[in-house]
Structure 1
Amino acid sequence: MNSSLNHSTLLKIDILSDVVCPWCVIGYKRLQKAIQELQLEDKVCIEWHPFELNPQMSPEGENLRSHLAAKYGTTLEGSIAARKHLTELGAELGFRFNYFDEMRMYNTRKAHLLIHLAKEKGLQTVMSEALFEAYFSNQKDISDTEELVKVAVQVGFNEAEVCYVLNDRSLTEMLQSLQGKWLSNDFNGVPAFIFNYGVTLTGAQEINTFKSVLTRVIAEELV
């Protein structure tokens, strides 16, 4: 899939997502599958946009089960069932959810800074995938600067460049401003997928739903 617009691109997809959102993983993987099945990899440009589910989260984070219980009223039984369901869905899509009892919810602001950094080099999708994997598959603290540097270096970035971005106050303010624009346009949750600045799907839709929208929007571009 293209990560920057070019003369052959027919479809721009904006993805509003958070790194610690399992349904963002499922939604993206289903979209990816739909694009592959329609053989549109070279016709699509994806851009990722920041949405912090917990912008006030403390640096040390919170136990994930405790966090979900306090925020959504999720019971222990509900949590166990949800983790099992997500793990099964992930496996079907080639993604490994590796939940554990002491898993924590983290502040994701610095992770979003990395995704923003990756935009210039056309590596946003690679970076987003790497961060999803770091948190959900490899049990990493994706609020920790050291861990984020490791992820970014593996993606192909220079360590000094990464450290600068993660500590740049002006970039953090810019990130918060970007999020504010989405909120002001009534985007209050993730994932959200916007096709060619118009058709919008929210939530982790089924593969066939994504295929239907992709087919329709591509057809409109070819008219």
Structure 2
Amino acid sequence: MKPVRIDFVSDIACPWCAVGLASLEQALKEVGSEVSAEIQFQPFELNPQMPPGGQDVFEHLTEKYGTTITQVKANQEKIYQRAAELGFPFHPEGRKRVYNTFNAHRLLHWAMVEFDLDAQHRLKKELLKSYFTLAVDMDQHDRLLEAVERAQLPIERAREVLVSEEFAKDVKDQEQKYHQLGVHSVPSIILNNQFIIQGAQSPELFAEALRDCANGVI
């Protein structure tokens, strides 16, 4: 059995990324000691040009996808139901606005570089919680720092990162790398740098892929 590297390319502004992570985590629990795996979160910005203050979620989604508010609400309900089945609760009224997430990606890179992948994983989950469960203003540094605190990482160091340009180039370089590799939608889950699973697939599909990678089938 060989170890499995999981590169989870995603954005904390992506509801399907929250669902996909919850599904992958369930799959990892299912395979247990059968598979030795580690997750590294890679940055992808759905809305890199989003200005400060963000945009109303319905305005944004109807403009971006050419759908009606009714269609957006129906799709959101499907996401909420799928997420609830996997143990990830969305805010009952949904998020109100869509925000730029570059600072969140810088913090995630910081957590990995200065701590470890477990720290990055904890922070990723807390940032998703802030965005979708708590539905707070993600432009405010204090809201990002609350996620840092819940992830048991040092707030003052995180504050230093936020008010600087630290890790900005690292994040941009990683984003460019995955765009060049053909990743244009998220979540994209890459196993051992060679096998890609796109979308929030079922725990069963993730578990099968993990076992196949560990056993050298793929």
TM-score in same-fold range (> 0.5)? yes
1: CA distance between counterparts of 2:127 and 2:2? 26
Residue 187 of structure 2 is matched in structure 1 by 191
Structure 2 stretches lacking a partner, 5+ long: none
2: CA distance between counterparts of 1:220 and 1:87? 35
Give the 3-state SS of the residue equivalent to 1:94 in structure 2: coil
Query: Which of 125, 149, 152 lines up with 2:121 in the alignment?
Result: 125
2: CA distance between counterparts of 1:11 and 1:44? 5
Residue 29 of structure 1 is matched in structure 2 by 22
2: CA distance between counterparts of 1:14 and 1:112? 14
Aligned residues: 214
2: CA distance between counterparts of 1:117 and 1:206? 30
Q: CA deviation at 1:100?
A: 2.7
Residue 200 of structure 2 corresponds to residue 207 of structure 1: no
2: CA distance between counterparts of 1:146 and 1:95? 23
Asked which structure has the greater RCO (Cα within 8 Å, sep 6+), the reply is 2
1: CA distance between counterparts of 2:19 and 2:184? 18
Residue 21 of structure 2 corresponds to residue 15 of structure 1: no
- Native 8 Å contact 2:95 2:132 kept in 1: no
Moved over 4 A (4+): none
Change (3 A) 1:30 1:149: same
1: CA distance between counterparts of 2:55 and 2:104? 17
Residue 169 of structure 2 is matched in structure 1 by 173
- Native 8 Å contact 2:148 2:158 kept in 1: yes
Query: Which of 160, 164, 169 lines up with 1:164 in the alignment?
Result: 160
2: CA distance between counterparts of 1:14 and 1:180? 15
Residue 108 of structure 1 is matched in structure 2 by 101
Q: CA deviation at 1:174?
A: 2.5
The amino acid of 1:147's aligned partner reads R
The percent identity for this pair of structures is 30
Structure 1 stretches lacking a partner, 5+ long: 1-7
The 10-residue stretch of structure 1 (22-31 or 113-122) with the greater mean CA deviation from structure 2? 113-122
Per the normalisation by structure 2, the TM-score is 0.92
- Native 8 Å contact 2:2 2:214 kept in 1: no
Change (3 A) 1:41 1:51: farther
2: CA distance between counterparts of 1:141 and 1:41? 40
Query: Which of 73, 91, 98 lines up with 2:66 in the alignment?
Result: 73
Q: CA deviation at 1:134?
A: 0.8
Alpha carbon RMSD of aligned pairs, Å? 1.8
Give the 3-state SS of the residue equivalent to 1:39 in structure 2: helix
Per the normalisation by structure 1, the TM-score is 0.90
**Cα-to-partner distance string for 1:84-123 (whole Å, 9 max, x where unaligned):** 1111111100010115377000000011111111113221
Residue 4 of structure 1 is matched in structure 2 by none
Give the 3-state SS of the residue equivalent to 2:161 in structure 1: helix
The 10-residue stretch of structure 1 (143-152 or 128-137) with the greater mean CA deviation from structure 2? 143-152
